[in-house]
Amino acid sequence: MITSDAIAWNAPNDLHPARTASQRSYSAVARGDLAEWLTVYAEDAVLEDPVGPSMFDPEGIGHHGHAGISAFWEKAIAPIASFEFTINDSFANPGSNTCANIGSIRTSFPDGSFTVTDLIMVYVVDDAGLVKSMKAYWEPDRTMASFTAAG
């Protein structure tokens, strides 16, 4: 289900509904396609990226439903020039509705500067394979310490 060259998948790749949903999510983000991204998420989904209070979610309560997820997109994804995903491992037990992916995201800004975020992303899907919960575990201070100016 990877449909973007901006994703390096170096992890198990068997068909699993949560893993497939995560790949669809990464592909839509890499292509900058909000409409496609929303088709990955259930209407009542909750997205926490990162988990806890952050510059994207000061109260740390997550982004709820398509309206909240769209608002997160406008704040955190739309201003970015490009994303490159590297997934180094993925854990998804057969018969479960959850997967955890370990990897990094290189976020490049319009001026050519970039950051690299090391993280764990946990996806839980419903019976239709739509994401009902996505939690990204990463630390903003560590990401900002990776800031590399254009040059």
Give the pLDDT of residue 2: 75
- Given its phi and psi angles, is residue 95 left (phi above 0), alpha (psi -120 to 50 degrees) or beta? left
Structure tokens at 27: 């592909």
| Mean pLDDT across 34-40 | 98
Asked whether the predicted pLDDT for residue 89 surpasses 90, the reply is: yes
Closest CA to 136 of 65, 50, 41: 50
| Mean pLDDT across 124-142 | 98
Give the pLDDT of residue 104: 98
pLDDT band at 151 (very low <50, low <70, confident <90, very high): confident
| Mean pLDDT across 55-82 | 97
% pLDDT > 70, the chain: 99
Indicate the SS3 state at residue 106. strand
Asked whether the predicted pLDDT for residue 3 surpasses 80, the reply is: no
Distance CA 83, CA 74 (A): 15
Question: How far lies 114's CA from each of 69, 107, 143, 150, 151, in Å?
Answer: 23, 5, 10, 8, 11
Distance CA 71, CA 111 (A): 23
* Cβ-contact 103, 74 below 8 angstroms: no
